[in-house]
Amino acid sequence: MNQRTLALIAVFIATLIYGLNYTIAKEVMPIYVKPFGFILIRVVGATIIFWILGLFFKIEKIEKSDYKTLLLASFFGVGVNMLSFFKGLSLTTPISASVMMVTSPIMVLIFSSILIRKAIGKQRIIGVIIGLMGTILLITYGNSSNTGATNSNWGNFLVFINASSYGLYLVISKKLVEKYQPITLVKWLYLLGLIFVIPFGYNELIEVDWQEMPTNIYFNIGFVVFFTTCVTYLFNLYGLSKLKPTTVSVFIYLQPVIATIYALIAGSDSLNPVKISATLLIFLGVYLVTKQVEKSTK
């Protein structure tokens, strides 16, 4: 098996984990662990794992001039990103949340044009408008009768904030990614992110009744900490080292597909015309945005 095939398999496995995560994490919240408490568990666990992994690599010293950028990247990439995602997921449904996450490439384009003055062609502008129309449709009319959604509108909006925050993080961290080894960057991102997460998650974490928690919920928490946070990062990293960024980015389309199939099998969500219409608009918008980028790259 050649390296390209292995890289494609690695990225697919990472995408599969992300797709399953929506329902697996949703089963934990908010009954057994509230969302901010869950994020604190996730960030603490990931920080420990990445710092232990760092012992086996040659770690560069972070330059003083980069700490401000690193702090901003950590705030948006770990703090705002994760807190808004899990809080939103606890209020909405897995399918709506997974569709909303696909807006990340659109937000990357918007923030790139604002922060680094990246030109936007006509096709990409149309893509942004169509994608945001789908987003607004899902936020405004994406209410679900599913019992797992206590406040779909607010939950969908928070997941959109998460996607926007992640898009901003990608733009902010671009120079850091080019300058430092991935393990160096991620261990510091999570350690600094822990500072932002503790004030929000501490009270919810101490409320957790670990003795009353079913065994399968322990498995779900472990899955999120180890697989969703750590394995996906390492697998995507391997994929990016062997494949074009545009090839890896295409896999984001699979997340809602996997999330939808698993959510329907698990009975944790259902489809309706609004979700389907919003999904098609968002997919079309992201396609137009990434298609234009790919052409200009060639």
pLDDT digits (tens, 9 = 90+) for 58-86: 878 889 999 999 999 999 989 999 999 99
Q: Counting every residue, how long is the chain?
A: 298
Please indicate whether residue 182 or residue 250 has the higher confidence score (pLDDT).
182
Domain count, the chain: 1
Q: Which of 7-21, 153-167, 192-206, 268-282 has the lowest mean pLDDT?
A: 268-282
Please give the average per-residue pLDDT across 152-159, as a whole number. 88
What is the predicted pLDDT for the residue at 142? 63
Q: E strands along 123-214, which residues?
A: none
Tokens for 233?
């990062």
- Whether residue 37 is predicted with pLDDT greater than 90 in this model: the reply is yes
What is the predicted pLDDT for the residue at 294? 46
What is the predicted pLDDT for the residue at 146? 55
- Considering only CA atoms, which of 283, 288, 294 is closest in space to residue 103? 283
Exposed/middle/buried for residue 216 (C-beta within 10 Å: 0-12, 13-18, 19+): exposed
What is the predicted pLDDT for the residue at 190? 94
End-to-end Cα, the chain, rounded Å: 28
Please indicate whether residue 118 or residue 225 has the higher confidence score (pLDDT).
225
Please report how the helices 3-28 and 215-222 are oriented relative to each other, as an axis angle in degrees rounded to 10.
140
* C-alpha torsion angle, residues 140, 145, 151, 155 (rounded to 10): -60
**What confidence category does residue 149 fall into, taking pLDDT thresholds of 50, 70 and 90?**
low
Tokens for 232?
């996906």
Residue 50: phi and psi, rounded to 5, are -70, -35
What is the predicted pLDDT for the residue at 163? 87
Phi/psi-derived region of residue 11, left when phi > 0, alpha when psi is between -120 and 50, beta in every other case: alpha
- Whether residue 296 is predicted with pLDDT greater than 60 in this model: the reply is no
Please indicate whether residue 113 or residue 44 has the higher confidence score (pLDDT).
44
Q: What is the CA radius of gyration of the chain?
A: 19
Q: Answer yes or no: are the C-beta atoms of 200 and 84 closer than 8 Å.
A: no
Please give the average per-residue pLDDT across 99-128, as a whole number. 79
Coil, strand or helix: which one is 21?
helix
- Which residues span the domain enclosing 289? 3-297
Reply yes or no: is the peptide bond before residue 105 cis, omega within 30 of 0.
no
Residue 245: Cβ within 10 Å count: 12
What is the predicted pLDDT for the residue at 293? 47
Q: Which of 2-6, 19-23, 42-46, 214-218 has the lowest mean pLDDT?
A: 2-6
Distances (CA, A) of 88 to 7, 43, 46, 78, 154: 31, 17, 21, 15, 7
- Whether residue 240 is predicted with pLDDT greater than 80 in this model: the reply is no
Q: Does the model's pTM come out above 0.95?
A: no
What is the predicted pLDDT for the residue at 246? 62
